[in-house]
Amino acid sequence: MGSSRFLGVRSFQVNFPGSARCQTSPSREGFLPPGFHGADFKSVTSHPHAPLFAVYQVFENVAEKYDVMNDSMSLGIHRVWKDILVHKMNPSPGTLLVDVAGGTGDIAFRFLNYVRSVRERQLQQKLRNHQNLSWQEISKSYQEEKSNPLGDSQVVVCDINKEMLKAGMQKAQHLGYSEGLSWVLGNAEELPFDDDKFDVYTIAFGIRNVTRIDLALQEAYRVLKPGGRFLCLEFSHVSNPLLSRLYDLYSFQVIPVLGEVIAGDWKSYQYLVESIRRFPPQEELKAMIEDAGFLKVDYQNLNSGIVAIHSGFKL
């Protein structure tokens, strides 16, 4: 657990001895600063250390009900948005992905499914192209390929919150995911990984919750290989005025109520709604990504800008 060589590890690492980028997660009692007693938006913005502490508490509070609440709040549409993100990534076998703020594993599992599907299609095409082989040779080739269904692809789920990682690992075990999957406890603003490590960096519904977006973007750039791709799926600003008003009404009047009914936590979901409204609009985030060093930066609005996918490359 102490090594920073995480590949193949199937439980999250808490420590990275000898690394200046070591990031550990204290207990809930030790994490909250004196005088901080809630995750309401006022305390998040007023306490000098509140942003990091409050966000940690929010996601610790909602970890067990996080997936259920996502389905309830978005009427299941978040699943489509995440599918679009992975199809936009279009990973090939051998891709090394880091999914930051990946908590419950939604992007990681989709990535593994996608790569496995690509690998299967490649195998079928290979067999069709070698129909002159004997059935023994075909069987041997098939078994060899099937023994490595991911083609050496790996995904590392990195999250600052141990409860979110715990929920993700439990879900992975329940769904049968193990190969090519690692879990690492770490801060998006100070990732515990070497430079030039990953082919793709994703962060879905997470970047608005970091204290310093600019630092998180710089870290994304650092850990990507030259030619690597940055992809961010995040709530954004609705372009249609009528839809924007309806969306605000739903967000402020319905989502906190759902949070109370389903998760028993009004304040955490009130904070999440407020964090969405304060998040930079599409063009501003695009400029921030470019400032971090990324090139060919663009974005795609989904559902009139309720969410947007930003993309950039380390070239």
Where is the binding site for S-adenosyl-L-methionine, in residues?
104, 159, 187-188
CA distance 315 to 313: 6
> What backbone phi and psi angles, to 5 degrees, belong to 289?
-65, -40
CB atoms within 10 A of CB 261: 11
CA distance 167 to 290: 34
| Nearest Cα to Cα of residue 73 among 270, 305, 299 | 270
- In the Cβ-directed half-sphere of 237, how many Cα atoms lie within 13 Å? 10
CA distance 290 to 281: 14
CA distance 113 to 126: 20
The residue type of 169 is: M
How deeply is 298 buried, as exposed, middle or buried, from its count of CB atoms within 10 A (0-12, 13-18, 19+)?
Answer: exposed
What residue numbers does the annotated binding site cover? 104, 159, 187-188
The residue type of 90 is: N
